[in-house]
Structure 1
Amino acid sequence: MSLICGFPLLECVYCLGCTRWVWKKCLYTAGYESENWGLATAEEFEPIPRICRIILAVYEDDIRNPQWAPEGGYGINPDWIVLRKDYGDNQGCVTPYMIYLDHDRGEVILAVSGLNLGKESDYAVLLDNKLGQTEFHGGYVHNGLLKAADWVFDAECDVLRKLIAEHPTYMLTFMGHSLGAGVVALLTMLAIHNRDKLGIQRNKIKCYAIAPARCMSLNLAVRYADVINSIVLQDDFLPRTTTAAETLYKSLLCWPCLLCLLCLKDTCTLEEKKLRDPRRLYAPGRLYHIVERKPFRFGRYPPVVRTAVPVDGRFDHIVISCNATSDHAILWIERESRRALDVSY
């Protein structure tokens, strides 16, 4: 009898916990996490629309007849593309990428595309990770993304070294979107730790991770903030996804299970405990948050860009928003980045 009576009590406790979680989530908006950050300057944010356009070129089938026509003069010169590799070339180890020489701005660029929903190999990269599985120079990183970055570095190290030697004044710039953003963030750390192989100094290496996956522990995210920059548009879900990727994708056909899991984790895990866990993964480097919507107001407002290297509030909470997936799209990020430069600066 006592066991039977215990079930309603457990249900009440669970419902109260879920109600608290829903209440917190409904009140939580993306602007809260960056409201105390400083504003980014036009000079530091100016490259972002161009970077989005270069990454978009990796998605194109025919670079000379692009499906997404360049806007605002951010197109690329097809004659400056050194190489392009697709899924067949990469043996499923990483998403498509290209190496591009930007002679106008003096850059050797390696750009990596994001996850393709139709490719099992991309999911395999995301799912290849367990909490604390892979250590990297005093911190922790995403195992699958590190293996993908390792593959790219081994495949293109000679090409990059040759280009750097031919253009010693050029910056080496890594850039990627979504899954590709996680790959280039870890590829940047590999490049920094193998500078002798590339023949380049740390201050000549830069990385731009657009809508990145959470791929490195907090100490690494802060340590490489002078080199790695993450750009997040408003409510984007991926930099906030704290649930293990394996759990997330296994739960795609059971959203109630996923929501219950998120509910329990968010309700029962203290912020102090999250910060104390050295294995917990975060969005990499310096954060740039594009904010264009305000709580309890309809429509988009002139975007502002806030930036910081936070050690707490590093996109730790998923925002309940109908824009959480659309804000992940690189076309939207490019558009709002241009608006931020045109309107705010």
Structure 2
Amino acid sequence: MSLACCIPVAEGVYCIACARWLWLKFLYNAGHESENWSLATTEEFEPIPRYCRLILSVYEDDLRNPLWAPPGGYGINPDWVLLRKDYEETLGRVSPYMIYLDHDHGDVVLGVRGLNLAKESDYAVLLDNKLGQTKFCGGYVHNGLLKAAVWIFESECEVLRELVEKNPGYTLTFVGHSLGAGVVSLLTIVALQKQDRLGNIERKRIRCFAIAPPRCMSLNLAVRYADVINSVVLQDDFLPRTTTALEDVFKSLVCLPCLLCVMCVKDTCTMEEKMLKDPRRLYAPGRLYHIVERKPFRIGRFPPVVKTAVPVDKRFEHLVLSCNATSDHAIIWIERESQKALDG
């Protein structure tokens, strides 16, 4: 067969593959992932809005005169903020964070903010990774996020140890959003591996809440630490579903059609069983909480429902073609909808 005949055949096969991919994508919605999950209880989901507001407060320069506080304020006591570090103090190794001693809830909290679109150092953390680059604790993790987590631990472990020892009944909680969610997820594993440096605090007193996290650890780690690490995802949020290398995502700002073509062929030709068998593949960490507030082919938002599970398959495997895929990543929306779910 001549080359002139092969080209139309190849084009036809490619078009059929793309059409199949688009058909499957348009039929796929966020509700498919969690439709068989259990409903989260009020007790286990109660801290989420509070931790969202605490993370939001990290964005403020002056907590006594906040600029972006939601109605009712952040609900935190500025006198209980023990430590805050900005980009100058973190040397660009990680985004800003703070340590908060919550006497009302018996909690020592370390909160890390999300990606700053204007900071090159945040992009450097996210892009510092290749598939299978870093083995850790019997699995694979995101290289840049692990380095940021280790930097925080080495910087603050003495402070955290002192707080834990002075407040023996308090929990130690790591919380973060987006980039910060990936950092605190791996920081939690580091802390569990080095409990002696935190005064041998019991595992049951350590918790992590990753709000809209990136895919940062292999499946075996995600399941093994599900009793400690919790991920919160609002409806169609793109980041926990982004399997494409983040470097390629940023390159797509220059050539989006190229990325879509690659994703199209990859999603069409790769069997889900093969994806699950790859030990290097990264996933959203821990136990998953999925806030569902929209229904297929229905207009508008509905009273949010929170589903939870520790799934092996359907762990936010596919991107959802939705106009809300980016807005659902915003922590202000996650805070509002999680509070609605709690009130409802």
TM-score if structure 2 supplies the norm length? 0.98
Aligned to 2:25: 25
SS in 2 for 1:59: coil
* Inter-partner Cα distance in structure 1 for 2:81 and 2:181: 20
Aligned to 2:252: 251
Aligned length in residues: 343
| Cα offsets for 1:5-60 (capped at 9, x unmatched) | 21111111111111000000000000001000000000000110000000001111
* Inter-partner Cα distance in structure 1 for 2:125 and 2:159: 24
- Cα contact 2:58–2:112 (8 A) shared by 1: yes
Aligned to 1:136: 136
* Inter-partner Cα distance in structure 2 for 1:126 and 1:317: 20
Q: CA RMSD in A?
A: 1.0
* Inter-partner Cα distance in structure 1 for 2:18 and 2:212: 29
Letter of the 1:84 partner, please give it: R
The question of 1:79 aligning with 2:54 is answered no
Query: CA offset at residue 72 of structure 1?
Result: 5.2
Query: CA offset at residue 69 of structure 1?
Result: 2.2
Letter of the 2:331 partner, please give it: I
Letter of the 2:75 partner, please give it: G
Aligned to 1:41: 41
Letter of the 2:236 partner, please give it: D
Aligned to 1:67: 67
The question of 1:5 aligning with 2:5 is answered yes
- Cα contact 1:234–1:290 (8 A) shared by 2: yes
Letter of the 1:281 partner, please give it: L
The question of 1:296 aligning with 2:300 is answered no
SS in 2 for 1:306: strand
Letter of the 1:27 partner, please give it: L
**Mapping for residues 201-220 of structure 1, pairs under 5 Å:** 201-220=202-221
Aligned to 1:156: 156
* Inter-partner Cα distance in structure 2 for 1:24 and 1:169: 50
* Inter-partner Cα distance in structure 2 for 1:54 and 1:132: 33
SS in 1 for 2:58: helix
Letter of the 1:48 partner, please give it: I
SS in 1 for 2:231: strand
| Cα offsets for 1:251-286 (capped at 9, x unmatched) | 221110111111111111100000000000000000
The question of 1:180 aligning with 2:196 is answered no
Letter of the 2:19 partner, please give it: T
SS in 1 for 2:69: coil
- Cα contact 2:57–2:74 (8 A) shared by 1: no
Query: CA offset at residue 71 of structure 1?
Result: 3.6
Where does the alignment leave 5 or more consecutive residues of structure 1 unmatched? none
Aligned to 2:322: 321
* Inter-partner Cα distance in structure 2 for 1:330 and 1:207: 16
User: Percent of pairs identical after alignment?
Assistant: 74
| Cα offsets for 1:178-225 (capped at 9, x unmatched) | 000000000000000000110111111000000000000000000000
Aligned to 1:340: 341
* Inter-partner Cα distance in structure 1 for 2:72 and 2:186: 31
* Inter-partner Cα distance in structure 2 for 1:74 and 1:290: 21
TM-score if structure 1 supplies the norm length? 0.98
- Cα contact 2:52–2:331 (8 A) shared by 1: yes
SS in 1 for 2:82: strand
* Inter-partner Cα distance in structure 1 for 2:297 and 2:14: 29
Aligned to 1:242: 243
Aligned to 1:278: 279
* Inter-partner Cα distance in structure 2 for 1:222 and 1:322: 31
More off after superposition, 180-189 vs 255-264: 255-264
- Cα contact 1:49–1:74 (8 A) shared by 2: no
Letter of the 1:133 partner, please give it: Q
Aligned to 2:56: 56
